[in-house]
Structure 1
Amino acid sequence: MGVRDDQKAATREKVLDAARDLFNEVGYDETTIRAIAERARVSVGSVFTTFASKAEVLSHVMDHRLTELYAEFDRVVPFLRGSTADRLCSIFAIHYEFETRRVKLFLAHVASSYNPNNDPGVTPYGRNPRLTQMLLDVLEEGVRKGEVRDDLDLRLIVDTLKAAYAWNYRMTAAAGGTVPAAEMSAVMDKQIAVIAEGWKPL
């Protein structure tokens, strides 16, 4: 890369770091592109040169964070034990523990996913291919082990699990971001138990 590319990459990192902190401190709606630029010590034009919109900035912030999370999963997932439901509970517990460190940021990500005017560069919540594949892998192994019926639409189960996971953040939103990860995980465990009743072999 040339000097210009290096500068562009450095600006991008500054913008993402500033936006991540602002989204988590004051929330998505209250954060402006101007505020992000000021925190990053770059011009507003530099932000728009790199990103098309605030929603795209948020999307890239989340992608950047998830790199760290899935590096952890690469180490942990091969060692998960127990039933299909147990393994799914562990995966979501790790997600809750990670996301509640910056809960306002994650709530902003979920909320922005329902915006019908999102730019093409935005990856909304629920379309994370790594999480989708991880859950599919667990369910497919459950089919092989005879724990999960082989006539079910596994992607529909994955969508249901992801919807339950996101729904549980309503408790945190209502409590101003103070609900512990363990409490949400306990609710998710019960939801997975209910869903598991539907995938049991007949």
Structure 2
Amino acid sequence: MATPHRIAIARRRTPATRSRRELRVEQILQAARDLFGAQGYDATTTAQIAAQIGVVEGLIYKYFPTKRALLLQVLGYWYDDMFGDYTRELAYFPTARKRLHYLIWRHLCTVRDYPRLCGLMFREVLSADNDYRGSPLHAMNKRYTQLLVDTVETGMRGGEFRTDLPPRLVRSLVYGGIEHEASRYLARYIAPHQQAAADAPALDVGLLADQITNLLCDGLGPRPAAELTETRA
């Protein structure tokens, strides 16, 4: 059965209009995603990826110059899939607080549903100081997190949130906090041989989304004028 990610990739173009090259690239990306997720990036070889789809190893390099380039493309497709139609979905929520909660909840769902890909993103890409910055994947990540910045700015303009805190700090607190909070959950997928992984708790997406949203919005809420005067004194 095709995974949601496979379905999303297949929808990009109809079978009648997809070239042989596109179909081959899709096969390689799917095999790489499966093996990177199951074995980890370092333990996976391009020979294994080729064997997974029944081709010679050299064919992989016809489409991807390095294994690293292949990893970035796998994660790029995943990010593209995650976006879905965020703009349309966010429009259903009448307040900035509800939109903020939705973005936090959806990000947590992604961590819960795609733990191995999240682990690859955190360990192999975000922690590396090489080809990530300036890459298409970096641009996608900026677009993805900008949705939260835009939501906070909208709340500030509408009077829901205080205006003396930088929206980018809120973004860092949300995504950095989720990464830290979910680290033990991800450990069972990133390093299943470690004892810590066996003891890792489940990720309660609904509860954690509520807690983060409440913590942020209580702090972001407009402050009484008297309190502001006292703080500045």
- Both proteins in one fold, TM over 0.5: yes
| Change over 3 Å in CA distance of 1:102–1:45 after alignment to 2 | same
Following the alignment from structure 2 to structure 1, what is the Cα–Cα distance between the partners of residues 87 and 163? 27
**Structure 1 residue 197 displacement after superposition:** 4.0
Structure 1 regions of 5+ residues with no counterpart? none
User: What is the aligned-residue RMSD (CA, Å)?
Assistant: 2.8
Aligned with residue 139 of structure 1, among 142, 152, 160: 152
Matches within 5 A, 1:122-133: 123=137, 128-133=141-146
| Change over 3 Å in CA distance of 1:99–1:176 after alignment to 2 | closer
For residue 57 of structure 1, what is the aligned residue in structure 2?
Answer: 70
| Change over 3 Å in CA distance of 1:169–1:28 after alignment to 2 | farther
Aligned with residue 200 of structure 1, among 213, 221, 230: 221
Contact 2:109–2:205 under 8 Å retained in 1: no
| Worse-superposed segment, 34-43 or 188-197 | 188-197
For residue 120 of structure 2, what is the aligned residue in structure 1?
Answer: 108
Matches within 5 A, 1:33-112: 33-84=46-97, 86-112=98-124
| Change over 3 Å in CA distance of 1:30–1:76 after alignment to 2 | same
Following the alignment from structure 1 to structure 2, what is the Cα–Cα distance between the partners of residues 185 and 174? 20
1:167 has 2:184 as partner: no
**Structure 1 residue 184 displacement after superposition:** 4.1
Contact 2:46–2:57 under 8 Å retained in 1: yes
| Change over 3 Å in CA distance of 1:14–1:24 after alignment to 2 | same
Q: How many residues align?
A: 195
| Worse-superposed segment, 24-33 or 114-123 | 114-123
Following the alignment from structure 1 to structure 2, what is the Cα–Cα distance between the partners of residues 176 and 6? 35
Contact 2:96–2:151 under 8 Å retained in 1: no
1:157 has 2:178 as partner: no
CA deviations on 1:71-120 (whole Å, 9 max, x unpaired) are 24344211124452x42222222233234333112211111121223466
Q: Per the alignment, in what secondary structure is the counterpart of residue 80 of structure 1?
A: coil
**Structure 1 residue 19 displacement after superposition:** 0.9
Following the alignment from structure 2 to structure 1, what is the Cα–Cα distance between the partners of residues 206 and 70? 29
Following the alignment from structure 2 to structure 1, what is the Cα–Cα distance between the partners of residues 136 and 179? 18
**Structure 1 residue 185 displacement after superposition:** 4.5
Structure 2 regions of 5+ residues with no counterpart? 1-17, 191-199, 224-233
| Change over 3 Å in CA distance of 1:127–1:74 after alignment to 2 | closer
**Structure 1 residue 59 displacement after superposition:** 2.1
**Structure 1 residue 172 displacement after superposition:** 1.2
Structure with greater contact order relative to length (CA < 8 Å, sep ≥ 6):
1
Q: Per the alignment, in what secondary structure is the counterpart of residue 116 of structure 2?
A: helix
**Structure 1 residue 139 displacement after superposition:** 0.6
Percentage of pairs with the same residue: 24
Contact 1:15–1:37 under 8 Å retained in 2: yes
1:186 has 2:207 as partner: yes
